């Protein structure tokens, strides 16, 4: 147990906001030690220097999800981040704190999360067990390995950081967002749940709207990997009875990638594009390529990689 | 003044409040839940180790609810109302299985049934758990369930300020919408206080920043009593120096406390139960080691998990591992975790019987940490608080439903009274200049820690009382710098401080009054338990600047007091 303490003078530059004055930056100087969390730094500013500063914080141990904000541009929980760690990481004792992106500002570091909560409610975030279970007539059991799998995705603390970092929620209203997908998958995959059909209807189309940019994976303070939940939700597509055009395009895209790899061991993007969107769907883009003189890249004929038979064995599961 | 009407208003959206709301709403009544935070941010989320339950057919074959009651009674140093402890034990299995049916992801045995682990003070292991984030898992389950009912209105990020009462009868509550400062009179036939604890009164606490004792103060000002307000629990293993809780589950899973010499010092204080002795005993043991020079520099001891193995630690004690890593830079698989005691739980609370009903005010109910039923007596056993929130949240909800069935509308008008209470909020911060809340708050937290903490004596408590009186005077000069109408957190912090000062006065006075040592209330000048004079509940009323104390007998059923050794 080697607790090395040290102290440091830092400047916290906080981006403030009020409906009357708009945005402004304000600087606070304070001394921190090796163990000072940003929530504690903010609490000290508020009680010792400037009581007008507004922010949210509650548990200071990363389970309540109140204190999401941007620290030196990184979406983080303030409680789970030590001031000195950020100063060292960026080699500067001047650190910026801003409200989370995407959400409407209310005051200083407080943003309006109503829209975020609406996203969470859309996935029906609760178990719908069998009637007999609910009435206590039969007991339900859960395998330890199922518990572990579900618990990973159930640990979402509704902090909103992943949604604030997601580029798709900004442009696609139909995309439920990473947190809602993690929550949705947690119930979709629960063997005790009875509304699987309805959940697939809610989740599958949306799951194909994710671009796999991994921002949610990077910022989640609970290491939930919402993007993994989205991938796992896509695997349910083959069980879905009705498929939207987004879902169908997604399936075609996967099939095209598979075929491209099977054929050449390479990802032939032009071919994949053509198979996914069809000749008619691609025509506009090809005209654009033609006009910009890039069509030659699209027409490159790839030679199969050397050990293509090995790749085919892996892809088809044929190990004979 | 804006007005809304509900059958029931519940203050607090943690486990107790949500469970009560679920019960009342399911019976067809309309319910408003008022909370300073979005429900899943409630302090219930911070509970770690687990929830105690005797489950028929899924417990140690030698165990039974009577043993569970006995452990609770003994753990609480015989100040426990035994009928309440019996109810808690007998309903424990049922409530855990209800949560299981609602989808709570309890850790499992290989056969798929709910798993179990040991906790301090238990004769047989009976703690059910979800890793070491049990509170968070249960809170999300109950919130998701309750919000799915559709018949409960959640007023989150609203600040409940005063109970409106008329002729000893609850008529509603005044609350502010924090977003725009608009005060609203919530007219209600019944109010349930389920607003949790008060850790922020202490310099060192494992509690959330929101735990400022609002519910206790609100009840006190309306004329209701607190029961056993002197009993404040300190958790022995808070991470040094951030005071983040390192769950008792760590010791339940086999972790050992060591002093600077590497000795397993609990052998001196609780030779049989060792590190799994109840919290009051372990807290005093740690501070005694430190005081006698066997702690680490800075004043802490080590919690040794290293022999448990990396995989086991990371699965069953994930949060402890993560907290040590993130907040102290310690790898718990290789090194000891630095720990010391910090305020953790409040055994005292709004005086209620086992149905959740307060005897002073008609229509006032309380549940969870805000209430004193009393199932914890002088010291709460680990895993009993989550259990209490759910069992008594539900019991209280059921009592409220019964109360509403025979409710008759009073004729008097109380709108004027409500107007006055809104003005009283602005009175707290009336000055144009003077002091702001932070100056008073920091002094209060130090005073409570230094003189109303783990060890107490007459001189210290008198010092605390005179300091608290001075701070109450200073508060009259309190002002608010932030004049904005939008999310003015300074204004609410000032109101919270008023609540904290009301409560602090009651705690310190009651602690000075009780001249014995029992459970978490340890008097250096009266180190022995004194059943002859003090086997009784303190009942404390706030009368302006003074505290009026009366007593209530402890309810005994089967267990006679015996010497408490572990």
- Give the distance, in angstroms, between the CA of residue A66 and the centroid of all CA atoms in the same chain: 17
Tell me how many degrees the CA angle A81-B134-B111 measures, rounded to the nearest 5. 130
Query: Could you tell me if A143 lies within 8 Å of chain B, comparing CB atoms?
Result: yes
Exposure string of B388-419, with b = 16+ CB inside 10 Å and e = fewer, is bbbbbbbbbbbbbbebbeeeeeeeeebeebbe
Plot region of B94 (φ>0 → left; ψ -120 to 50 → alpha; else → beta) = alpha
CB A260: neighbour CB atoms within 10 A? 19
B320 → chain A, closest CA residue:
A61
User: Is-contact B526 B511, C-beta < 8 A?
Assistant: no
Q: Which tokens sit at A211?
A: 């671009």
Angle (nearest 5°) at CA A98 between A93 and A103:
160
At A275, is the secondary structure helix, strand, or coil? helix
CB B511 within 8 A of CB B227: no
- The phi, psi pair for B510, rounded to 5°, reads -65, -35
Nearest to A230 by CA among A270, A259, A203: A203
Residues of A in contact with B302 (CB under 8 A): 1
Q: Cβ distance A111 to A103 under 8 Å?
A: yes
Nearest Cβ partner for A1 among B133, B245, B335: B335
Structure tokens at B98: 């209800």
DSSP-derived secondary structure for B31-55: EEEEESS-GGGSGGGG--S-EE---
Q: Are A97 and A109 in contact, with CB atoms under 8 Å apart?
A: yes
Out of B110, B136, B141, whose CB is closest to A144?
A: B110
3 state DSSP class of B2: strand
On whether the CB atoms of residues B204 and B243 are closer than 8 A, the answer is yes
Which of A47, A110, A190 is facing B438, going by the closest CB pair? Answer: A47
- pLDDT value of position B534: 98
Structure-token pair, residue B360: 């002073």
Residue B232: its H or E element: strand B232-239
Answer whether B209 sits within 8 Å of A57, measured CB to CB. Answer: yes
User: Cβ neighbours of residue B349 under 8 Å, at least 6 residues apart?
Assistant: B216, B226, B227, B228, B366, B369, B370, B371, B372
| A50/chain B closest Cα distance in angstroms | 9
Which candidate from A35, A59, A157 shows the least CB-CB separation from B208? A59
* Residues 6 or more apart whose Cβ sits within 8 Å of residue A85: none
Secondary structure of residue B503 in the 3-state scheme: helix
Q: How far apart are the first and last CA of chain A?
A: 55
Closest by Cα among B381, B300, B374, B396 to B345:
B381
In chain B, what residues touch A187 (CB-CB under 8 Å)?
103
Q: Which of A20, A82, A126 to mutate to test the interface with B (most CBs of B within 10 A)?
A: A126
Six-digit token string for B335: 């090194």
Q: Are B231 and B375 in contact (CB under 8 A)?
A: no
Reduced to 3 states, what is the DSSP secondary structure of residue B523?
Answer: strand
Q: Minimal CA–CA distance to A168: which of A181, A153, A151?
A: A181
By the CB < 8 Å criterion, does A147 face chain B?
yes
Contacts of A1 in chain B (CB under 8 A): 296, 302, 330, 335-338
Question: What 3-state class would DSSP assign to B337?
Answer: strand
Catalytic sites of B, residue numbers = 279
Could you tell me which chain A residue has the CA closest to the CA of B497? A47
User: Integer distance in angstroms from the first to the last C-alpha of chain B?
Assistant: 57
For A54-104, the pLDDT digits (tens) are 999 999 999 999 999 999 999 999 999 999 999 999 999 999 999 999 999
- Which of A18, A21, A58 is the best mutation test for B, with the most CBs of B within 10 A? A58
Residue B224 in contact with residue B364, Cβ under 8 Å? yes
Q: Supply the pLDDT for residue A319.
A: 63
Beta strands A68-71 and A94-98, pairing class: antiparallel
Number of H helices, E strands in chain B: 16, 18
Report the distance separating Cα A70 and Cα A75, nearest Å: 4
| Local structure of A104: helix, strand or coil | coil
When CB atoms are compared, the residue of B319, B330, B482 closest to A52 is B482
Which residue has 């349930």 as its token pair?
B192
Residues B133-171 pLDDT 10s: 999 999 999 999 999 998 999 999 999 999 999 999 999
User: How many degrees, rounded to 5, is the angle at CA B442 between CA B16 and CA B475?
Assistant: 90
Tell me which residue of B270, B273, B268 sits closest to B251, measured CA to CA.
Answer: B273
CA dihedral (A144, A149, A152, A156) in degrees, to 10, reads: -110
Q: What is the per-residue pLDDT for B412? A: 86
Is-contact B537 B79, C-beta < 8 A? yes
Q: Torsion angle, CA of A77/B140/B241/A56, rounded to 10 degrees?
A: 40
Return the structure tokens found at B557. 């059923």
Pairing state of beta strands B546-553 and B536-543?
antiparallel
Bridge-partner residues for B416, per DSSP?
none
Quickly list DSSP for A125-150. Answer: -S----HHHHTTSS-----HHHHHHH
Residue bearing tokens 């399911």: B26
> What is chain B's Cα-based Rg?
22
- According to the model, what pLDDT value does residue B432 have? 84
Please give the radius of gyration of chain A, using alpha carbons only, rounded to the nearest integer: 25
Determine the Cα–Cα distance for residues B100 and A314; give it in Å rounded to an integer.
Answer: 41
- What is the C-alpha to C-alpha distance for residues B58 and B179, in angstroms, rounded to an integer? 48
* Under 8 Å between Cβ of B256 and B271: no
Ranges of chain B whose pLDDT falls below 70: none
The whole-number pLDDT of residue B242 equals 93
Q: Token match 């541009």: residue?
A: A73
* CB–CB contact B40 A150 (8 Å): no
A30: which residues sit within 8 A by CB, 6+ positions away?
A9, A10, A12, A41, A44, A45, A49
HSE-CB at B216 with a 13 A cutoff on CA atoms is 37
Cα separation of B334 and A197, whole Å? 47
Helix (H) or strand (E) holding B251, with range, is helix B249-252
Residue of A4, A32, A51 to mutate when probing chain B, most B C-beta within 10 A: A51
Interface check A138 vs B, CB under 8 A = no
| A 151-180 near B (Cβ less than 8 A) | 151, 154-155, 157-158
Chain B contact present for A65, CB below 8 A:
yes
Q: Quote the ipTM score.
A: 0.94
CA dist B183 and B155 (Å) reads: 13
A129 and B244 within 8 Å at the Cβ level: the answer is no
Yes or no, beta carbons of A110 and B487 under 8 Å apart: yes
Chain A: closest CA distance from residue B367 (Å): 21
Alpha helices (runs of H) in B452-526, residue ranges in sequence order: 458-475, 489-513
Inspect the interface and report whether the beta carbons of B328 and A35 lie closer than 8 Å.
Answer: yes
How high is the pLDDT of residue B371?
Answer: 98
Task: Please classify residue B47 by burial: count the beta carbons closer than 10 Å to its beta carbon, then call 0-12 exposed, 13-18 middle and 19+ buried.
Answer: buried
List of chain A residues with pLDDT < 50: none
Q: What whole-number distance in Å separates Cα of residue B504 and Cα of residue B499?
A: 9
Inter-chain CB proximity A143 and B112 less than 8 Å: yes
């Amino acid at each position: 147990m080697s607790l090395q303490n040290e102290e440091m003078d830092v400047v916290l530059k906080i981006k403030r906001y009020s409906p009357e004055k708009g945005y402004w930056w304000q600087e606070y100087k304070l001394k921190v030690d090796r163990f000072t969390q940003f929530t504690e730094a903010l609490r000290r500013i508020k009680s010792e220097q400037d009581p007008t500063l507004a922010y949210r914080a509650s548990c200071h141990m990363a389970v309540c999800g109140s204190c999401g904000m941007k620290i030196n541009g990184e979406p983080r929980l303030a409680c789970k981040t030590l001031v000195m760690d950020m100063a060292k990481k960026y080699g500067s004792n001047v650190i910026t704190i801003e409200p989370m992106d995407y959400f409407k500002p209310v005051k200083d570091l407080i943003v309006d999360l109503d829209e975020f909560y609406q996203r969470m409610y859309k996935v029906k975030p609760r178990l719908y067990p069998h009637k007999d279970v609910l009435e206590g007539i039969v007991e339900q059991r859960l395998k330890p390995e199922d518990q572990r799998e579900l618990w990973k995705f159930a640990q979402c603390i509704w902090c909103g950081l992943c949604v604030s970092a997601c580029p798709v929620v900004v442009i696609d209203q139909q995309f439920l967002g990473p947190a809602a997908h993690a929550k949705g998958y947690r119930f979709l995959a629960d063997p005790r749940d009875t509304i699987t059909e309805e959940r697939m209807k809610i989740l599958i189309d949306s799951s194909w709207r994710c671009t796999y940019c991994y921002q949610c994976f990077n910022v989640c303070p609970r290491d939930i990997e919402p993007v993994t939940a989205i991938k796992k939700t896509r695997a349910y597509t083959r069980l879905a009875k009705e498929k939207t055009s987004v879902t169908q395009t997604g399936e075609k895209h996967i099939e095209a990638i598979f075929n491209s790899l099977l054929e050449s061991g390479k990802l032939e993007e032009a071919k994949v594009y053509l198979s996914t969107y069809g000749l008619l769907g691609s025509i506009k883009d090809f005209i654009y390529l033609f006009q910009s003189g890039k069509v030659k890249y699209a027409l490159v004929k790839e030679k199969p990689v050397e050990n293509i038979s090995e790749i085919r064995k892996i892809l088809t599961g044929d190990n004979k | 003044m804006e007005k809304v009407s509900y059958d029931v208003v519940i203050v607090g959206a943690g486990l107790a409040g949500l469970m009560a709301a679920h019960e009342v709403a399911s019976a067809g009544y309309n319910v408003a839940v008022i909370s300073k935070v979005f429900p899943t941010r409630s302090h219930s989320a911070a509970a770690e180790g687990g929830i105690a339950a005797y489950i028929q057919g899924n417990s140690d074959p030698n165990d039974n609810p009577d043993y569970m009651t006995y452990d609770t009674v003994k753990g609480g140093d015989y100040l426990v109302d035994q009928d309440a402890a019996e109810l808690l034990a007998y309903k424990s299995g049922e409530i855990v299985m209800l949560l299981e049916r609602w989808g709570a992801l309890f850790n499992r045995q290989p056969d798929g049934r709910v798993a179990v682990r040991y906790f301090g003070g238990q004769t047989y292991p009976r703690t059910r758990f979800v890793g070491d984030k049990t509170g968070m898992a249960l809170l999300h389950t109950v919130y998701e369930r309750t919000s799915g009912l559709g018949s409960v209105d959640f007023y989150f990020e609203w600040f409940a300020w005063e109970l409106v009462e008329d002729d000893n009868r609850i008529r509603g509550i005044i609350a502010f919408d924090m977003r725009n400062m608009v005060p609203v009179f919530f007219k209600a036939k019944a109010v349930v206080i389920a607003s949790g604890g008060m850790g922020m009164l202490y310099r060192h606490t494992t509690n959330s920043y929101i735990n400022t004792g609002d519910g206790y103060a609100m009840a006190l000002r309306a004329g209701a009593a607190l029961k056993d307000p002197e009993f404040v629990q300190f958790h022995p293993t808070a991470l040094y120096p951030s005071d983040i809780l390192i769950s008792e589950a760590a010791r339940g899973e086999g972790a050992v406390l060591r002093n600077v010499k590497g000795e397993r010092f609990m052998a001196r204080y609780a030779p049989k139960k060792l590190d799994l002795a109840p919290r009051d005993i372990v807290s005093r043991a740690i501070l005694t080691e430190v005081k006698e020079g066997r702690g680490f520099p800075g004043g802490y001891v080590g919690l040794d998990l290293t022999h448990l193995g990396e995989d086991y630690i990371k699965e069953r004690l994930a949060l402890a591992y993560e907290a040590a890593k993130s907040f102290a830079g310690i790898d718990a698989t290789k090194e000891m975790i630095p720990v010391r005691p910090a305020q953790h739980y409040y055994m005292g609370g709004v005086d209620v019987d086992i149905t959740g009903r307060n005897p002073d005010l008609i229509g006032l109910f309380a549940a969870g940490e805000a209430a004193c039923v009393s199932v914890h007596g002088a010291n709460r056993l680990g895993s009993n608080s989550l259990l209490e929130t759910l069992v008594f949240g539900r019991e209280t909800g059921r009592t409220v439903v019964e109360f509403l069935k025979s409710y008759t509308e009073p004729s008097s008008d109380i709108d004027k009274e409500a107007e006055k209470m809104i003005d009283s909020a602005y009175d707290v911060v009336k000055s144009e200049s003077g002091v702001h809340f932070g100056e008073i708050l920091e002094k209060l937290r130090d005073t409570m820690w230094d003189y109303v903490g783990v060890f107490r004596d007459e001189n210290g408590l008198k010092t605390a009382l005179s300091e608290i009186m001075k701070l109450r005077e200073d508060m009259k000069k309190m002002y608010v710098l932030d004049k904005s109408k939008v999310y003015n957190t300074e204004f609410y912090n000032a109101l919270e401080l008023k609540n904290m000062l009301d409560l602090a006065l009651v705690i310190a006075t009651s602690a000075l009054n009780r001249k014995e040592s029992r459970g978490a209330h340890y008097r250096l000048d009266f180190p022995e338990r004194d059943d002859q004079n003090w086997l009784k509940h303190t009942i404390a009323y706030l009368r302006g600047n003074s505290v009026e104390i009366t007593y209530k007998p402890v309810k005994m059923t089967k267990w006679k007091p015996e010497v408490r050794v572990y």
